[in-house]
Amino acid sequence: MTMITTCFYHIRSFRQIRSSLNDAMAASVASALVSSRLDQLNSVLYGTTLKYTGRLQRVQRALARVVVNQRSRPPFSSNELLKQFHWLPLECNVHFKLATLTFKALHTGRPPYLADLLQHHQSTRSLRSSSSSQLFIPRHNLSFGSRAFRFSASRIWNSSLCTFAKPSHFLLLNAILILTFSNQLTPPPSDPPSNAP
């Protein structure tokens, strides 16, 4: 709650000087003042209640409206506004952070306390998934336990395109993950109107 109050304080201060900045500078200031705070330790937010993550998402949307210099809601959706600045929504950003931590643990073995928690899935049959880098998801008894890194990281990693692309470079991983989560933001095309009477 303290971080949310602090973010809105910086947003109000940022709004007062927004008219003196160009768009590129405004985006840089917004990232330095608020977005960096939302990115700190956001991987621990996996599985958090919507009540808390919704408040953080409102911070991000309010920041985006200040960057575009609009006090009221813009005429386009909030997802389109975030995509304009190449910002992932909070939930997707949490998944992105978990996937990057998993990549580093798998390819560098660091940090070792996280790498030791990950195990590759060993299939006894010849399946399509056996050629991918799927991770083993252990069982858990409590819903709170599903938020632990050994469960959440494996689940996020297996649901992304990284298991089939097998990226060997961190920049390639970023591109794959951004593509994965951006596709989740794009609504499916609507059916054309029928000309039937």
- The model's confidence at residue 167, banded by pLDDT at 50, 70 and 90, is low
- Structure tokens that stand for 47 in this block: 């599985």
Q: Note down the domain range covering 180.
A: 93-185
Query: Does residue 142 fall inside a structural domain?
Result: yes
Report pLDDT for 12: 92
The DSSP string of 5-70 is HHHHHHHHHHHHHGGGS-HHHHHHHHIIIIIHHHHTTGGGGTT--HHHHHHHHHHHHHHHHHHTT-
Domain shared by 78 and 122, yes or no? no
Please state the rounded mean pLDDT for residues 59-86.
76
Does 42 share its domain with 107?
Answer: no
Q: For residues 112 and 170, state if they share a domain.
A: yes
pLDDT number for residue 13: 92
CA distance 182 to 40: 21
- Which of 45, 67, 87 represents a domain boundary (last residue)? 87
State the Cα–Cα distance between residues 105 and 114, nearest whole angstrom.
6
Q: Do 112 and 81 share a structural domain?
A: no
Radius of gyration of the chain (CA): 20
Asked if residue 18 and residue 99 are part of one domain, the reply reads no
Mean pLDDT (the chain) is 76
User: Does residue 137 lie in a domain region?
Assistant: yes
Buried residues in 129-140 as b, exposed as e (16+ CB within 10 A): eeebbbbebeee
Q: What is the pLDDT of residues 25-72, one digit of tens each?
A: 998 888 887 777 887 767 788 888 888 888 888 998 888 888 888 765
Yes or no: say if 85 and 23 are a contact pair by the CB < 8 Å rule.
no
One domain for residues 153 and 104: yes
| Number of structural domains found in the chain | 2
The band of 16, judged by pLDDT with boundaries at 50, 70 and 90, is very high
Residue-wise pLDDT tens digits, 97-125: 888 888 888 888 888 998 898 888 776 66
Domain boundary residue, one of 43, 61, 87: 87
**pLDDT confidence band for 17 (50 / 70 / 90):** very high
Examine residue 64 and state whether it is found in any structural domain, yes or no: yes
Query: Do 150 and 181 belong to one domain?
Result: yes
Q: Is residue 106 part of a domain?
A: yes
Do 7 and 79 have their domain in common? yes
Considering the domain boundaries, does residue 197 fall inside one? Answer: no
- Residue 15: which pLDDT band, with cuts at 50, 70 and 90? very high
DSSP states of 19-35: GGS-HHHHHHHHIIIII
Whether residue 111 has a cis bond before it, omega within 30° of 0: yes
* 63 contacts 35 by C-beta, under 8 angstroms: yes
Q: Is residue 193 part of a domain?
A: no
User: How far is the C-alpha of 5 from the C-alpha of 93, rounded, in Å?
Assistant: 20
| Amino acid symbol at 122 | Q
**What pLDDT sits at residue 108?**
84
pLDDT of residue 190: 43
